[in-house]
Structure 1
Amino acid sequence: MSIYVGNLSYDVTEADMNATFAEYGTVKRVQLPTDRETGRMRGFGFVEMSTDAEETAAIEALDGAEWMGRDLKVNKARPREDRGGGGGGGRRGGY
C-alpha cells in the first residue's frame, strides 16, 4: 500500500518528498507523476513507506499541514481503478 499526497507545489522534487517523509520512517519509493504532453508535475504524488505504522504516522502528521506554501492532502492511496479502454487504433470520423 502507499500514501497519496495531493495539493503539492509544482516545484517539489522526489528529494524534497523523501526528506519530509523520512522524518516518519523509511521511505521505500517516491513517485511524482508528470503530464505526458508538457512534462510538468501534476500536483500530486505517492510515497511508499516500510511499514503500515510509518505510513500512519506520516499521514497523521502531514494531512492538512502547510508545506512549500500549500496545504497538503495526505491519505492512504486507493487501488487504481481499471478504466478499461486503451487501444484506440480505430478510424475516427470521415466514413
Structure 2
Amino acid sequence: MSIRLYVGNLPRETSREELDSLLTSEVGDIGSAKLITDRKTGKCRGFGFVTVETEDQADTVIEKLNGFVFKENTLKLEKANDKPKAEEDSAQPSEASANPRPSGNRRPSNNNKAKNRRPQANNNGQDVEFTSNSTGDFAPDPRWAGELAKLKEMLLAQASSK
C-alpha cells in the first residue's frame, strides 16, 4: 500500500526535477513526486506530494526532510490526508458524507444572495412611514442622513406632481 506525503513551503520557483533531485540526494530512490502548479502561470503553488511504498520509507523521508532548508525555505513534510473513496463511504459513513456542506470560510453562492436580501415594498405611490419596533420612531444612520433627506424631498416632489 502506497503512502502519500505532503511537502509544504516549497519555493515558487521550484520545478519537479528539482524536487526529484532533492529527494534522491537526501533520501535515495523513492516513489514518485508531484508538484502542484498554478494553472495560469505554471509556477509552483508552494506544495507538492511524494508517494512512497512503505510506512518505514514515509517515516524516513519525514525525519530527514521535515525542517530541511531548501532554497532558503524550511520544508514541512507530513502524511497527507487522502480523500475518502466511494466504497469506503458506503461501507462506513464518514464525517464528510454525513455533513454534505463542509464548514469553513466559503463565499455564498449566487443563489443565496436573493435569500439574504430584504423584500422591496411596492407602495404604489402611497406614503410609507418607517418605524422601529423598539422605540416607535425611525432614526436614520447619521452617515446617510443627508442623502436620505434629499431622497425624501425628491419623492415628495414626485408624489405631489402626480
Give the TM-score category using the shorter length: 0.7 to 0.9
* Segment drifting more, 15-24 vs 67-76: 15-24
Alpha-carbon distance in 2 for matches of 1:11, 1:80:
28
The percent of aligned pairs where both chains have the same amino acid is: 33
| Matched length | 88
SS in 2 for 1:54: helix
How far the C-alpha of 1:52 sits from its partner, in A, is 2.0
Structure 2 residue runs of 5 or longer lacking an equivalent are 85-95, 102-109, 112-162
Q: Which residue of 1 aligns with 2:15?
A: 13
- Partner amino acid, structure 1, of 2:11: S
SS in 1 for 2:6: strand
Q: Do 2:8 and 2:76's aligned partners in 1 also have CA atoms closer than 8 Å? A: yes
Note the 1:44-59 alignment, pairs <5 A.
Answer: 44-59=47-62
Higher helix share: 2
Q: Which runs of 4+ in 1 moved over 4 A?
A: 81-85
Q: Which residue of 2 aligns with 1:60?
A: 63
TM-score, structure 2 as length reference = 0.47
How far the C-alpha of 1:63 sits from its partner, in A, is 0.8
Q: Which has the larger radius of gyration?
A: 2
Higher strand share: 1
How far the C-alpha of 1:30 sits from its partner, in A, is 1.1
Alpha-carbon distance in 1 for matches of 2:18, 2:35:
11
- Partner amino acid, structure 2, of 1:53: D
TM-score, structure 1 as length reference = 0.74
Alpha-carbon distance in 1 for matches of 2:83, 2:39:
18
How far the C-alpha of 1:32 sits from its partner, in A, is 1.0
How far the C-alpha of 1:29 sits from its partner, in A, is 1.3
Taking only aligned residues, the RMSD between alpha carbons, in angstroms, comes to 2.5
How far the C-alpha of 1:4 sits from its partner, in A, is 0.3
Structure 1 residue runs of 5 or longer lacking an equivalent are 86-91
* Segment drifting more, 49-58 vs 70-79: 49-58
